[in-house]
Structure 1
Amino acid sequence: MIVDIIPAKKLPKNLSVLSYKIPNDLEAKVRIGQIAAIPLRNSFTSGAITAIKKTLRTPYPLKYITGLASEKPIFTLPQLKLFRQLAEYYYTSASLFVHFNLPKLIKKDWQKLPARLRQGYGGHARLNAPTVNRHKTAKPSFLWWQKTEERNKFYLKQIQTAKKSKFQLLIIVPRINDISALAKQLALKSTEYIPIHRQLSRLENFKVWLAANRQLSALFIGSRSSLFCPFANLRTIIIDDEHSLDHKQYDMNPRYETKVVAEKLGQICKNKIIYSSPAPSLVSYHELQLKAPQFKRTIISADLNNELTKKNFSFISEQLDTHLKHTLNSKKSIFLFVNKKGEATSTACQDCGFTFTCPSCTLPLIKTNNQFVCYYCDHQEDMPPFCPKCSGPNFHSLGLGIQKVEANLKKLFPESKILRLDKDITKLAIADYQSPAAIIIGTEYALDKINWADIGLLGIINADSLWQHAEFISAETAYQLLIKLLTLAPKNANIIIQTFQPNHYLIQSIIQNKPEIFYQNESAFRQKFSYPPFAQLVKLSCLNKSEAATKKKAEKIYQRLKGYKNIESQPPLSILRRKIRGKYKFNIILKLKNLDDFKPLAKIIPNDWLIDIHPRTLLD
């Protein structure tokens, strides 16, 4: 007999399964889902048994498995099928999925394992369920909500249904700290839900693994990795904040997306999938043909061009200034959102134009007090007294940072309590930011740390800075962040958005309470330049310690790609920060109508290159 095994060790992208012979003394013990010890090259490793074949003849000699970690299986059939489908979709090896999802077990843990795993097909706890898909997979539904109260009410109804019908419900949140935040908003006790994420201890992770397969009625709240648990009776999956970029693992392999994994799991296990967001991704808006709900919110737009005409360079418009004074008099707090940390976006020499950049990633250094800081790689250095190029003493800060806004406010409101909340602030207690009648200036970091119930005024200092980037997705992420701010603001709070482009479709969509204005205009832009949802993107990345070698390798592959039909390939470009983790990086962007057209190309991509399907960023 022969077994197919997915090793728990990184393999080349085109190799997921290896075949081995079964010794005679193990033939009666071997089952799918078990962990076997196998020889691999000149060493030994472990792997998951994914298929058992009765054939005896092979065109080439095979090695024998050397043993079983236990006669008890670790993976279910749906898990193994999911790993292989994802490996094929993302052009990587299934061994990565096995490696990252193999529970870290000690001797006493093996004793607690069930002799057989419930397979979980079709939402039913059945043993040895067939792999045949008998029913048509339902189309995902979408909850487009306006206020968190509306979302919470819907979630609680789903939780009650799962509890009453005795099945498992999984809510997936973008970030790990969102797990406890959501549970708090839903007023759930710690005994009423099971958290799942990568930072759990070995023992906690094992308890979750057991609960997923043995506790047939339960609520799970987790991050994207929770989809890989051996659920036995999972009937509904809710993806919270469906639009969030954090639903993709973008910084390491395997580079998978929550939506893709959930949909493939839904096809295998017949799960119901519900997307939830106050600002759906453009892809979901287009694919699911969503209709926007009716919004009713008064929002004030302040034209910053008029302020410059009046010689007002403080970035505090007359409208915002008036509302600041009124809100302070009413003993309410104010939150002013600023997109940038530090004092400015860059610092240059006024004499020669030299710009201070990070020696590691080459991005502009941001001035913070008397230091230069890189917020990408955390590099810090003291600000020199003279320009290193011309020895000039005159430096000029460009752009608007949160510290500059803070300084301007202290001049305008010297008697008011002004607090800054970004990642640079570590000494002040969170309670200080929840005190009444204070002006709080914060970045996105502050959104889950302030008391929104006490906010009487929300001000966006410069909305334009949110989308003035070269990334194709920048307008969408800007819109979604602004909508998030609006959903957090209390119903009676005043909202002022300052902008240099009051007629931009993004601003007009929010001011007029008509989401369709944004989605229709952004769709037209994407269609014109062949971006999702009107094209599929693939990012190919070459990394090397030598910039010249990296560029040469990338150019060589690009020349080979140019001849393929139905694929638009862009010449290799260096990433915005040039270096990442000490290596230079060049990207080649492919645009395809159908992802299947990439299959013949994948064979010519070297194994040390990165393949990113549906990349969220093209310049990094």
Structure 2
Amino acid sequence: MRDVEKTFPPILTEELKRAVEEVKKSIFSGQPDAYLLFGVTGSGKTEVYLKLIEETVKIGKSAIVLVPEIALTPQTIERFVSRFGNRVAVIHSGLSPGERFDEWRKVKNKEVDVVVGVRSAVFAPFDNLGLIIIDEEHEATYKQSDTRPRYNAKEVAEKRCEIEKAVLVMASATPSLETYYKAIKGDYKLLKLTRRIKASMPEIEVVNMSDELAKGNNSIFSRKLFSYIKENLKKGEQTILFLNRRGYSSFVACRDCGYVPKCPNCDISLTYHFEDKKLVCHYCGYEEPMRETCPKCGSKRIRYMGIGTERVEMDIKKFFPEARVLRMDVDTTRRKGSHEKIFYEFKNGKADILIGTQMISKGFDIPNVTLVGVILADITLNLPDFRSSERTFQLLTQVAGRAGRGEKPGRVVIQTYEDNHYSILTAKEQDYVKFFREEIKYREIFKYPPFAHLMNIVVSGEDEEKVKNASANTYLACQKVINKLQVKSYNKILGPAPAPISKINNRYRWQVIVKSEEREVLEEIAEYVQNMKYPKDIRVAVDIDPLNIM
């Protein structure tokens, strides 16, 4: 961490003051209240955090700030360190085991009052906890679902605050439907921030790319976005281009026989990476060299389908050779410190255009960014997951919020093939409540959260027939438990069926999904399934309230 100059609290707006005063009452009274701080992008949520931490520390208590991994930028850390100096510990996945131990020891020895970190920081060993803040509470990274123990840091934080009489503040411009639903029902106290502090909201335009094609534009940039990028370069203002897919193209195909190279270990097509001239699996890491001819029919007519950030970078350099371009995705941030390096280069004006995946959608508060271009908004919209509309709205709203955060007005161009979808339309209007009202209707009809709890049981193994049989037995076990409990409320078992990604790392994957209005029913089923005897090579992963069912 570079040297950080100490800063002092600014004068808060009336809206921010009201939010601070409301939460302060709970902190001072020792009431374990839970709040949802619902504020538009750039409304000053971080200033509210800083003031609340200051008040918490004043009465001899400690605070934990949870931040999703992709939002834990150097700029985010700086804001806390500049206010509280060396009384802050930072915990994230980029630390070595030794560095992580050092930060943990500082907490245990009471050398710090504040911990800023990713989901595991919720376990920071304070014995005088007064406040937990969860920034961007809607983010899926707060759930650890790939390894045991599976836990949701939000649930842990809520329980810890209840036990230790601490206050919980969850904050977002785009809260998860479940959290907002609880807030309007009165389970959480709702605080709203409706205005940006220093600037107005950006102007957002939606461009239908089918219309662009019909008018002869085969580029990945609409004419509008292209002209705005050109204009920004002339004015010396910065641009962010967002595409939530890395690589050059999402897959390659033979135009003669239709052959598509797939990963031999996973049920997924290989992504082409131009720089390395390789086809790569983004699930298991398998790679093979790109061939100039089709291995099936020998044709040289190979077509690159779909686009990734690497392709966007190449096209920008081709159309705007004078532009200084940076790219931020998993491929460019593998080395330690590379994320920080790219961030500061862009922040300090050493680049005109930043291209990236969702890691650029948060934590970037750069006044000279006046244009955001969303290259293709439909990527998340068409995933086979009931949260796909919600994720699309959240991602578009968050990335649009990077534009116009200073004195200069901001513009956003969203490119899509589905310009009539309510996720796109409400993101254009920056209207969360309108999106919520539309989406909640579908959730209620189909009994998805918040109207029921879900459990995803994934059965995997190298022998597909064994996996299929084991998942059938799992289904029967779920049915047996429900019958035994004589549950009268809504329950439904879906499957068994192949998972949306039916093979990863040479392991076939089948799933059984259980819906229930009572979480206790799912807990009973989970306990029963986890105690069942399966063949040795079969693995069973049980996830209650999963954040994705892929």
Category of TM-score, reference length = shorter chain: 0.7 to 0.9
- Is 1:453 the counterpart of 2:382 in the alignment? no
Q: 1:298 aligns with which of 191, 203, 210?
A: 203
After TM superposition, the structure 1 = structure 2 runs for residues 202-221 of structure 1, keeping only pairs within 5 Å, are 212=107, 215=110, 218-221=113-116
One-letter amino acid of the counterpart of residue 132, structure 2: I
- Over the matched positions of the two proteins, sequence identity in percent amounts to 30
Checking the alignment, whether the CA contact within 8 Å between 1:366 and 1:373 is kept in structure 2 is yes
Q: Deviations over 1:501-546 (max 9, x none)?
A: 2222122212223211111111112112211111100111212221
Residue of structure 1 equivalent to 2:422: 505
Q: CA deviation at 1:218?
A: 1.5
- 1:482 matched to 2:482: no
CA contact (8 A) 2:369 2:402 kept: no
Which residue does the alignment assign to 2:300? 393
CA distance in structure 2 between the aligned counterparts of 1:136 and 1:383, rounded to whole angstroms: 62
Which residue of structure 2 lines up, in the alignment, with residue 14 of structure 1?
A: none
CA distance 1:494–1:602, change in 2 (3 Å):
closer
Pair 1:598–1:224, CA change in 2 (3 A):
same
Residue type of the partner of 1:590?
Answer: V
Give the 3-state SS of the residue equivalent to 2:498 in structure 1.
Answer: strand
Shift of 1:261: 0.7
Deviations 1:96-119 (A, max 9, x none): xxxxxxxxxxxxxxxxxxxxxxxx
> How many angstroms does 1:302 deviate by?
1.8
Give 1:165's match in structure 2, choosing from 59, 74, 79: 59
**Pairing 1:442–2:356 present:** yes
Aligned to 2:147: 252
Task: Map Cα deviations across residues 337-391 of structure 1 (whole Å, 9 max, x no partner).
Answer: 1222222211112222121111122211111223211222222110123323233
Tell whether 2:157 aligns with 1:262. Answer: yes
* Partner SS for 1:548: helix
Distance 1:272 1:470, change over 3 A: same
CA RMSD of aligned residues (A): 3.0
Deviation at 1:225, TM superposition (A): 2.0
Q: Does 1:237 align with 2:115?
A: no
SS at match of 1:299: strand
2:415 matches 1:473: no
Q: Give the CA deviation at 1:547.
A: 1.4
Q: How many residue pairs align between the two structures?
A: 488
* Structure 1 residue aligned with 2:256: 351
> Contact 2:119/2:142 (CA < 8 Å) preserved in 1?
yes
Structure 1 runs not aligned, ≥5 long: 1-121, 125-134
The range that moved more, 191-200 or 463-472, is 191-200
1:524 partner amino acid? K
Where does structure 2 lack aligned partners over 5 or more consecutive residues? 1-25, 185-189, 196-200, 532-538
Given the superposition, is the C-alpha separation of residues 307 and 189 from structure 1 closer, same or farther in structure 2, using an over 3 Å criterion?
Answer: same
* 2:45 is aligned with 1:151: yes
The letter for the 2-side match of 1:309 is A
Give the aligned partner of residue 11 of structure 1. none
Structure-2 residue corresponding to 1:127? none
Per the alignment, residue 321 of structure 1 pairs with: 226
Query: What aligned pairs does 1:38-57 form with structure 2 within 5 A after superposition?
Result: none
Structure 2 CA distance for partners of 1:271 and 1:396, relative to 1, 3 Å = same
1:182 aligns with 2:113: no
Structure 1 residues 260 and 532: CA distance shift in structure 2, 3 A: same
Does structure 1 residue 558 correspond to structure 2 residue 475?
yes
Q: What amino acid does structure 2 have at the position aligned with 1:401?
A: G
Aligned residue runs from structure 1 range 183-198, under 5 A: 183-186=77-80, 187-188=82-83, 190-196=85-91
> Compared with structure 1, are the counterparts of its residues 263 and 414 closer, same or farther at alpha carbon in structure 2 (3 Å cutoff)?
closer
- Structure 1 residue 190, shift from structure 2 partner: 4.7
The aligned counterpart of 1:575 is 499
User: CA 1:598/1:304 → structure 2, altered by over 3 Å: closer, same or farther?
Assistant: same
Q: 1:415 to 1:234 in 2, by over 3 A?
A: closer
SS in 1 for 2:434: helix
Match of 2:181? 286
Q: Is the 8 A contact 1:123 1:269 kept in 2?
A: no
* SS of alignment partner, residue 221 of structure 1: strand
Change (3 A) 1:136 1:612: farther
> CA separation of 1:294/1:164 partners in 2, compared to 1, >3 Å: closer, same or farther?
closer
Q: Match for 1:610: what amino acid?
A: A
Task: Name the CA distance, whole Å, in 1 between partners of 2:358 and 2:253.
Answer: 26
Indicate how the Cα distance of structure 1 residues 500 and 262 shifts in structure 2: closer, same or farther if over 3 A, else same.
same
Q: Which residue of 2 aligns with 1:378?
A: 285
Aligned residues of 2:41 and 2:398 also touching (Cα < 8 A)? no
Specify whether residues 123 and 603 from structure 1 end up closer, same or farther in structure 2 by C-alpha distance, changes over 3 A only: same
- Counterpart CA distance in 2 for 1:136 and 1:452 is 37
Give matches, 1:216-227, under 5 Å: 218-227=113-122
**How big is the shift at 1:445?**
3.7
The structure with the largest alpha-carbon Rg is 1
| 1:20-79 CA-partner distances (Å, limit 9, x unpaired) | xxxxxxxxxxxxxxxxxxxxxxxxxxxxxxxxxxxxxxxxxxxxxxxxxxxxxxxxxxxx
The structural deviation recorded for 1:251 is 0.9
Contact 1:332 1:436 in 2 (8 A): no
Following superposition, the deviation at residue 299 of structure 1 comes to 1.3
Q: Secondary structure at the match of 2:437?
A: helix
Name the structure 2 match of 1:616.
547
Contact 1:292 1:516 in 2 (8 A): no
Distance 1:481 1:579 in 2: 27
Tell me what 1:336 maps to.
241
Aligned to 1:107: none
User: Is residue 434 of structure 2 the alignment partner of residue 517 of structure 1?
Assistant: yes
2:127 and 2:225 map into 1 onto residues whose CA distance is: 55
Is 2:389–2:423's contact at 8 Å kept on the other side of the alignment?
yes
- Point out the more displaced range, 322-331 or 293-302: 293-302
Contact 2:107 2:124 in 1 (8 A): yes
* Higher mean C-alpha displacement, 519-528 vs 500-509: 500-509
1:177 and 1:599 mapped to 2: Cα distance? 32
Q: Structure 1 residues 603-612 or 501-510, which shifts more?
A: 603-612
**Is the 1:137–1:266 contact (alpha carbons within 8 Å) kept by the matching residues of 2?**
no
Q: Report the Cα distance in structure 1 between the residues aligned to 2:330 and 2:501, rounded to whole angstroms.
A: 21
Which stretch has the larger CA shift, 287-296 or 258-267? 287-296
2:43–2:193 Cα contact (<8 Å) kept: no
Give 1:204 deviation, angstroms: 5.8
Amino acid paired to 1:383 = M
Partners of 2:309 and 2:332 in 1: CA distance = 12
- For 1:203 and 1:365, locate their aligned partners in 2 and report how far apart those are by CA, in whole Å: 36
Equivalents in 2 of 1:285, 1:382: separation in Å? 48
**2:511 aligned partner:** 587
- Please, which moves more after superposition, 401-410 or 229-238? 401-410
The correspondence of residues 303-314 of structure 1 with structure 2, limited to 5 A, is 303-314=208-219
How far has the Cα of 1:433 moved from its partner? 4.3
Match for residue 450 of structure 2? Answer: 533
| Equivalent-residue separation in structure 2 for 1:456 and 1:230 (angstroms) | 42
Q: Distance in 2 between matches of 1:371 and 1:232?
A: 51
Between the aligned partners of 1:496 and 1:199, the Cα distance in structure 2 is 33
Matched AA of 1:256: Y
> Residue in 2 aligned with 1:597?
521
